Amino acid sequence: MRRLLEQGVAIFSWSGTLLLLTVLLVLLGYLGYRGAGAVDTGLIFGTIPPLDALLLRRQVFDGLFPAVAGTFALVLLAVGLAAPVGLAAGIYMAEYCRGRSRQVLGLFFDILAGLPSIVVGLAGFSLTIALHRLLPGSLGPCLLISALSLGFLILPYLIRSTQLALESLPPALRLSAPALGATKLQNIRYVLLPARLSAILGGIILATGRAAEDTAVIMLTGAVASAGLPRSLFEQFEALPFFIYYISSQYSDPDELQTGFGAAILLSAVCAVLLLGAFIIEQTLSRRLMR
Amino acid sequence: MSTFGRLPVVLFRLAAFGSGLLTIAVFLLMLFLGWPLLSGGQFVHLIAEEWSPDRGLYGVFPMVIGSIAIALLALCFSLPISLGTSFVAATLAPRPLRRCLLAMVRFMAGIPTVVYGFVAVFLLVPFMREHLTGGSGLNILTASMILALLIAPTMIVFFVGGLGSVEKSFCLAVDGLGGTKVQKLLYLQLPQAWPAMVAGVVMGLGRAMGDTLISLMLAGNSVAVPHAAIDSGRTLTAHIALVIAADFSSMEFKSIFAAGMILYVFSSVVVVVLRLFTGMAMRPTG
C-alpha cells in the first residue's frame, strides 16, 4: 500500500512538472511563432529612420516608439520617486526601528505589498478626483499621477529588499566599525551599505521589472491608446502594457494585431532582461560572500 | 550630536512612517469617496444586492461571486501542478535539474500578466469556443485556467522554500537509514513544512483574487451572477477597471470604491493569515 502511494506521488509530481513545462512552452512558442515576423526596427520606429525618431526630428506614427518611450519615462520616474523613499525606509527598518513600531510598520508594508495593483490604481485615481475637487481644473489623469501610483506599488518591495539585505549582514562586519569609534551613521554609510550594494541594486532592478509590466495601475491613472510621445508630466501617455491590452480587444486589421504580438515579445524581453540582470548581480554577490 | 548629524535619521524615520501612513490613507480615501453609497447602513445591501442600474440597484454581489469563483477554480487547477512541480524541484530531481527548474519558475513569474492574457485571447479562447464551451469562449473556465498558470510560480516558490528549510540533520538521518527521495518527501519534509504549504496556498489565493488583467481579458465581464464554470463572469478587479470610464458623480461610479474596499480588506486578511502561518513555520514543530 505504501509502495503504491510512494510510486503514485512520484508519477503525480513528474507529470505535474511536465504539464507546467508543456503549457509554458506552448504559450511562449505560440507568441514567438505569431510575433517573430514583427520583430525588427520597423516594429518600434515604423518607416522613420531610428536616429531621426530618437532625436525627435520626425514623429513616429506606425511604430511602437511612443509606447516604448512612454513606458521608459514612466518606469524611470516611478523608480526615481520610489527608490530614495524605499531605501530610506528600509534602512530605518533594519537599523533603527525596534519594538512595537517595528511590528506595526512591518505589518503595514506587508499589507501594502499584498494590495492588488488595481486598488493602488484606484487610489491614484481617487487622488486625481480629490485634487479635482480641491483645485478644479488643475490636474487630470497624467504621467505624474501614474508614476506616483506605480512608485507606491513597488515601494514595499524596495523597503523589504533593502531591509533584508542589511539584516543578513554577519554580526562581525556590523560591529567592527563602531568598535573603532565610528558613529552609527558612518557605519551605515561606509560599511553596511557598500557591503550590500549589489543586493540592494538587485532589489531595485526587480522592482523596476514589476513597474514595467504592470497594467492595472496605469490604465486607471492616465495611460491611453494614442497620445504620441510623452511631452509633459501633466499629460496622458502611451505605454507598452496598455498598448498590448488595448490591441487584444480593439485591433482593426492584421497589421495592428501583428504589432500587438511584437509588443508582447518586446515587453517580455524587457522583463526577462531585468530579471536576468537581478539574477546575475545576485550570483556574483553570493560568490563573493562565499570566498 | 548636532542637528545636522541627526538629519539623515529623521529623514529615514519620515520615509518609514510616511509609507506606513500612506497605507492607511489609501483606505480612508476610498472610504471618503465611496461614502455616499455606504452611509445609512447600505453596505450590506451593496454586497448582497444584484447589479441592475435600471432598478437603482448597485450591489457588487455578482462581482464578489465572480472573483471567488475564478480564484477558487484557478487554485483547484494550479494546486496539484504546483505541488507536483515543487516536489520535483525541492527533492525528487537531481541537483542540476532542480536549479534549472527553479530558474524557470522564476522566469515564469517575470513574464508580464498582460502577455499571458494576450496570448490566451488568441490561442486558448478560440480553442475553448470551438471545442469545449461554445459561446464566445470568454468565460470563467478560460480565465481560471490562465490564472492558474499565473499563480503557479508564487505557490511553487513558497512550497520549495518550505520543503527546503527542513532541518538538515533530519534529512541526513532519512538518507542514512536508506530512505528513498519520495519517502523523505512524504514522511519527513511534508509533515514538517505544512505551515509553509498552507501559506503558499493562501498567497496563491490572494494573488488570484487580486489579479485584474486575466479576468478582464478572458472572463467575459457579464454582470449577471454566474451559475456555471462556462458562464461569463465579472470580478471585482475587472469591475473597477470597467466602470472607471463612467460618469464621476453617478452611483454606479461609487460602487467601485465598495469593490476597492472589499479587495483591500480581503488582501489585508490574507496578509494577517500569512503572518500567523509563517510565524508557526519559524517555530520548530513536533
pLDDT in tens, B76-95: 999 999 999 999 999 999 98
Average pLDDT on B28-42 reads 75
Confidence tier at B286 by pLDDT (50, 70, 90): very low
Domains and CATH numbers, chain B: 3-39 (no CATH), 47-282 (1.10.3720.10)
Q: Distance (Å) from the C-alpha of residue A268 to the closest C-alpha of chain B? A: 6
Answer whether residue B167 shows pLDDT above 70.
yes
The reply to whether B268 touches chain A by the CB within 8 Å rule is: yes
Quickly count: other Cβ atoms within 10 Å of residue B235's Cβ. Answer: 34
Mean model confidence pLDDT for chain B: 86
Map A229-280 to HEC letters: CCCCCCCCECCHHHHHHHHHHHCCCHHHHHHHHHHHHHHHHHHHHHHHHHHH
Please enumerate in sequence order all residues whose Cβ is within 8 A of that of A56, keeping only pairs 6 or more positions apart, or say none: A229
d(Cα A195, Cα A232) in Å, to the nearest integer? 39
* Three cell numbers written together for A236: 496622458
pLDDT in tens, B151-166: 999 999 999 998 988 8
Low pLDDT (below 50) residues in chain A: 291
Residues in A closer than 8 angstroms to B240, CB to CB, are 118-119, 121-122, 220
Q: How far is A265 from chain B (nearest CA, A)?
A: 8
CA distances in angstroms from B90 to A22, A51, B95, B159, B201, listed in the order given: 20, 49, 9, 8, 17
What is the grid cell recorded at B185? 518527501
Q: Tell me which chain B residue has its CA closest to the CA of residue A3.
A: B183
All structural domains of chain A: 39-290 (1.10.3720.10)
Higher pLDDT, B52 or B8: B8
Asked if the Cβ–Cβ distance from A27 to B84 is below 8 Å, we say no
Check if B172 contacts A (Cβ < 8 Å): no
B22 contacts on A by Cβ (under 8 Å): 112, 152
B113 min Cα distance to partner chain A (Å): 7
Between these two residues, B74 and B283, which has the higher pLDDT value? B74
Average pLDDT over residues B228-252: 81
Among B15, B112, B271, select the one facing A111 at the smallest CB separation: B271
Residue B279 pLDDT grade (very low, low, confident, very high; cuts 50, 70, 90): confident
B222 Ramachandran zone, left/alpha/beta (phi>0; psi -120 to 50): beta
pLDDT tens, A97-156?
Answer: 888 899 999 999 999 999 999 999 999 988 888 888 787 766 778 899 999 999 999 999
Report chain B residues whose CB lies below 8 A from the CB of A271. 110-112
pLDDT value at B171 more than 80: yes
Residues of chain B with Cβ-Cβ distance to A267 below 8 Å are 112, 114-115
Which of B33, B104, B114 should be substituted to probe chain A, the one whose Cβ sees the most A Cβ atoms within 10 Å?
B114
pLDDT class of B281 with cuts at 50, 70, 90: low
Give the model's confidence band at B250: pLDDT under 50 very low, under 70 low, under 90 confident, else very high.
low
pLDDT score, position B223: 85
Q: Give kind and range of the element (H or E) at residue B51.
A: strand B51-52
**Structure confidence at residue A74 (pLDDT):** 94
Instruction: State the pLDDT at residue A127.
Output: 87
pLDDT recorded at residue A228:
78
Nearest residue in chain B measured CA to CA from A163: B16
> Pick from A6, A96, A245: which is nearest to B213 by CB?
A245
Three-point CA angle A240, A246, A252, nearest 5°: 120
CA distance, residue B117 to nearest chain A CA (Å)? 8
Q: Which of A92, A264, A272 sits opposite B107 (nearest CB)?
A: A272
pLDDT band at B257 (very low <50, low <70, confident <90, very high): confident
Q: What would the pLDDT profile of B57-68 be if each residue is shown by its tens digit? A: 777 888 999 999
B282: pLDDT confidence band, cut at 50, 70 and 90? low
Q: What is the mean pLDDT of residues B236-257?
A: 78
Q: Which of chain A's residues have a Cβ under 8 Å away from the Cβ of B256?
A: 122
pLDDT at B284: 47
| Residue B285 pLDDT greater than 50, yes or no | no
Sorted by sequence, the CB contacts under 8 Å of residue B166 that are 6+ apart come out as B188, B189, B192, B193
**B185 touching chain A per CB within 8 A:** yes
| Helices and strands (H, E) in chain A, number of each type | 14, 0
pLDDT given at position A158: 95
Helix axis angle, B61-87 to B236-243, nearest 10°? 130
CB B165 within 8 A of CB B123: no
Nearest Cα residue to B26 out of A141, A155, A136 = A155
Query: What whole-number distance in Å separates Cα of residue B256 and Cα of residue A122?
Result: 9
| Residue in B11, B180, B212 nearest the CB of A216 | B212
Q: What is the per-residue pLDDT for A288?
A: 62
Which residues of A are less than 8 Å from B112 in CB distance? 212-213, 215, 241, 244, 267-268, 271
